[in-house]
Amino acid sequence: GEDELDARIRAAKQTLGDRVVVLGHFYQREEVVRHADYVGDSFQLANAALEHPDAEAIVFCGVHFMAETADLLSRPEQSVILPNLAAGCSMADMADIDQVEDCWEQLADVLGPLDEADADGRVPVIPVTYMNSSAAIKGFVGRHGGIVCTSSNAATVLEWAFARGRRVLFFPDQHLGRNTAKAMGVPLDRMPMWNPRRPLGGSTAEQLEDSQVILWHGFCSVHRRFTVDQIDQARAEHPGVRVIVHPECPMEVVDAADEAGSTDYIRKAIAAATEPTTFAVGTEINLVRRLAAQYPQHEIFCLDPVVCPCSTMYRIHPGYLAWVLEELVAGRVQNRIRVTSDVADPARVALERMLAAKP
Ligand code: 13P
Ligand code: SF4
């Protein structure tokens, strides 16, 4: 039962002490998050991994790309453990390295050599990948002068990229790319989409030449479910409601909301509200429920009444957490996530560019 698992996890953590650090993403279920030494968004958790060079093991309660990132940023002797190897991210899986390499070749056919800078020192395209992507993709980006972003620094990173390239190729999340670029003043007709299943991504050569941001055809299956109708309904039923959504939501939803921001932005906006307020939130249900419990002075609900949790985040069941911790106690490392050095070196370059990019 749940109590027994809880006791097993506590006991194993106590035995391991400082030898292990447990990281938990905001979208993890309550029975897991309560055991995390750090809870945060993907950017904060990447930093938390950096800040624990002495821990032998980093147990990452999140999804596969996050554990890979932690492995890139941690020391080689440290093992990063993903309690359930089936916890992937469907969005990250939408940009596969072969498709991205193929896209790059096709873009070179249209735009000319992609590593040649023009008179103002800018290359034709800078690749930008959302943190929610495989290490292989981050490595690709690092090898081609590009950078990683998260939902909390996407605008800063796009500015970095526009200073170095005439265009940006943004993947995997079309919505984060579109919402961020639009807020920076990039017109929609200069953001063609790249669908990897079509020649030239389904755009024309002219559209690609004239583009400022080329958007990869990827999305988050949780955030794309939110609708403008849900926002209209929340406003009708709760006059004065503050609507905050994650930038992985479609553009019309972000436009209809009062604010959009990363999971940590949402948390801070609610924490900073001094007057009792009604918040309708467009993000994953576990985070919304936790915020509602944490801030009882406010009324906080999820925009989607029948929202399902992120099904892959949910694969980190406390039973797996207990298992990997008990194995560590027994001296065995299970479910280690390791990025090979051919990928890790350039991927680290792309991540370090992100960590150094200033607003
Ligand atoms: P952040 O934690 O960066 O806001 O991202 C949300 C998300 O979808 C993580 O997978
Ligand atoms: Fe991936 Fe969306 Fe789940 Fe985040 S919420 S892990 S982007 S599927």
Are 98 and 121 part of one and the same domain?
Answer: yes
Are 149 and 172 part of one and the same domain?
Answer: yes
Are 99 and 128 part of one and the same domain?
Answer: yes
Question: From the alpha carbon of 41, which atom of ligand 1 is closest?
Answer: 2
Are 52 and 126 part of one and the same domain?
Answer: no
Q: Cα–Cα distances in Å, from 226 out to 65, 199, 257, 284, 291?
A: 24, 30, 11, 10, 19
352 in a domain, yes or no? Answer: no
Give the model confidence (pLDDT) of 136-179 as tens digits: 999 999 999 999 999 989 999 999 999 999 999 999 999 999 99
103 in a domain, yes or no? Answer: yes
Give the model confidence (pLDDT) of 215-249 as tens digits: 999 999 999 999 999 999 999 999 999 999 999 99
Are 270 and 167 part of one and the same domain?
Answer: no
Rounded to two decimals, the ipTM of the complex is: 0.96
201 in a domain, yes or no? Answer: yes
Nearest Cα residue to 213 out of 189, 186, 191: 191
Rounded to the nearest angstrom, the distance between the alpha carbon of 215 and the centre of ligand 1 is: 18
Q: Say if residue 307's pLDDT is above 80.
A: no
Among 91, 262, 316, name the best residue to mutate to test ligand 2's pocket (greatest count of ligand atoms within 8 A of Cβ). Answer: 91
- CA R_g for the chain: 21
Nearest Cα residue to 337 out of 350, 326, 324: 324
CATH number, residue 7: 3.40.50.10800
User: Cα separation of 289 and 168, whole Å?
Assistant: 36
- pLDDT on residue 196: 96
- pLDDT on residue 186: 98
Question: Phi and psi (nearest 5°) for 147?
Answer: -150, 160
351 in a domain, yes or no? Answer: no
What tokens appear for 258 in the block? 């009062």
User: Cα separation of 218 and 314, whole Å?
Assistant: 21
- Average pLDDT score over the chain: 96
Q: Which residues line ligand 2 (CB under 6 A)?
A: 27, 63, 89-91, 132, 220-222, 284, 310, 312-313
Question: From the alpha carbon of 311, which atom of ligand 2 is closest?
Answer: 3
Among 302, 310, 315, name the best residue to mutate to test ligand 2's pocket (greatest count of ligand atoms within 8 A of Cβ). Answer: 310
250 in a domain, yes or no? Answer: yes
195 in a domain, yes or no? Answer: yes
- pLDDT on residue 1: 78
Q: How many domains in the chain?
A: 3
Q: Is the CB of 68 under 6 A from ligand 1?
A: no
Q: Say if residue 296's pLDDT is above 80.
A: yes
Question: From the alpha carbon of 91, which atom of ligand 2 is closest?
Answer: 1
Are 56 and 77 part of one and the same domain?
Answer: yes
Which ligand is located closest to the Cα atom of residue 87? 2
Q: Is the CB of 262 under 6 A from ligand 1?
A: yes
Strands (E), 71-230: 79-81, 123-130, 147-149, 165-171, 193-194, 213-216
Are 96 and 172 part of one and the same domain?
Answer: yes
Are 61 and 144 part of one and the same domain?
Answer: no
350 in a domain, yes or no? Answer: no
By residue range, what is the domain housing residue 240? 223-302
DSSP H or E stretch at residue 272: helix 263-272
Are 105 and 141 part of one and the same domain?
Answer: yes
358 in a domain, yes or no? Answer: no
Q: Is the CB of 312 under 6 A from ligand 1?
A: no
Are 150 and 59 part of one and the same domain?
Answer: no
Are 142 and 202 part of one and the same domain?
Answer: yes
Question: From the alpha carbon of 284, which atom of ligand 2 is closest?
Answer: 5
Cβ distance 137 to 167 under 8 Å? no
Are 22 and 66 part of one and the same domain?
Answer: yes
Rounded to the nearest angstrom, the distance between the alpha carbon of 41 and the centre of ligand 1 is: 6
Which ligand is located closest to the Cα atom of residue 260? 1
pTM of the model: 0.95
Question: Phi and psi (nearest 5°) for 143?
Answer: -75, -20
Rounded to the nearest angstrom, the distance between the alpha carbon of 299 and the centre of ligand 1 is: 23
pLDDT average, residue stretch 122-148: 98
Check whether 308 is labelled as a binding-site residue: no
Rounded to the nearest angstrom, the distance between the alpha carbon of 221 and the centre of ligand 2 is: 7
